[in-house]
Chains A and B, each alone.
Chain A
Amino acid sequence: MMTHPPIPDVNAPRVAPHPYPPHAVQPDPESPATDFMILPDGTIYARNLTPDLAAILAVLNPYDATMALRAATILRLPP
């Protein structure tokens, strides 16, 4: 017997799920694109993160060890 999922935490950061895709306009499949969602508490969510943007996020939050590792991959790419 499944129980219904709990009611959302009223104190959680609020977001308004958009009925549309993250991109307002369909991106060109040939061009890199990243989507961000920034919450009021400063949490940043990212999708399709490129190495360059990982490097920026790693600078914004130097305590995020995982992001630092993602950003480090850029070092293997040419300038």
Chain B
Amino acid sequence: MTTAVSTSLPGLAPTRFARRQRLVPPRSALARERLPLARQSLADCHLCLHHCGADRLAGPSGRCHAGPDARFFAAQTDVSDELQLLPSFAVSLSGCNLRCDFCITGAPSWNPRAGSELDAVRLADRARAALAHGARSLMILGGEPTIHLPGLLELVAALPDNATLVLKTNACFTEAARPLLSGLFDVWLPDLKFGNADCAHRLAAIPHAADYWTTVTSNLLWMVGEGDTSELIVRHLLMPGHVDCCWAPAAHWLSQHLPDVKVSLRSGYWPAWHAARHPELRVPLPRTELDRALALAQECRLNLVP
């Protein structure tokens, strides 16, 4: 019997990350200060690579179909993620700007109306309880959390300043979102999903004009520039049939541009949601492909973390 939550990289011990140096004012105050600007940005939304220009204050609109208010579909202590972050109290916001057919949380991720209203104070109370019971980090994810910047900032403003705060994101946000996100997170956990625009288009309905690769890689470089106050761990979910077209370009780019960054190679691909639309995605990741991906990571001298 084998178990495959995400990655199995024997011999790699979990590492601790340095506690970030606290900004003055604290991040809760920063988040609160930015709330009006975040709300205003929804009136002509250019927060993600789709540049819809939708008025989300008027109601659900744009490619994400999200309105002004965030909802969440899960909030629980979790041990599925990178070992150095565990246990993590994770809050999943509903809705996403991508349409990944293989999404493991397809229904609530594609539907910003799924789940419950985001009550930041109540969730922060639960987060404090989780921390008191041994949680090592707090994680905000989705869906895609950066499409809900006002809700995300409300949540950050309510969470304890001394907790290790992680943002798991598809990194498809634009430069307009960066000033609202800067300095708030101890760990950036972006997912470099695709290695080229064709796969991004075919599997996640990202138009070629949106320039997925440039958007995400420029955000990764921006995140590493946030390094005085945070740490970057880049994720890649290995998909069957996509080692050469997606993982290889990602690995080579990381090797060239972010050679020391931590990389989390996720091997627990699980055919779900609309994966059956794509013949190669109907099976779990073959062992041979995992071995090839790990060999490539070694060849590129990537700093893999479990």
Chain A residues proximal to chain B, CB less than 8 Å: 2-3, 5-9, 12-23, 26-27, 29-33, 35, 37, 39, 42-51, 54, 57, 60-61, 64-67, 69-71, 73-74, 76-78
Contacts and interface: CB of A to CB of B under 8 A. Distances in A.
Interface stretch (B18-26, B154-162, B172-180, B281-289): B281-289
Interface footprint category on B? 35 or more
Interface of B: 1-5, 7-10, 14, 72-80, 83, 86-87, 90, 104-108, 114-116, 133-134, 136, 196, 198-199, 240-242, 244-245, 268, 270-276, 278-284, 286, 288, 306
Contacts of A19: 273-274, 276
Contacts of B274: 17, 19
Question: Which among A37, A44, A49 has the highest number of chain B CB atoms within 10 Å?
Answer: A49
Contacts of B72: 29
Contact of B116 (A13, A23, A29): A29
Contacts of A14: 283
Do most interface residues of chain A lie in helix, strand or loop, or is the interface mixed? loop
A61 B116 CA distance: 36
A5 B10 CA distance: 28
B282 A78 contact: no
A76 B133 CA distance: 7
Contacts of B8: 64-66
A13 B283 contact: yes
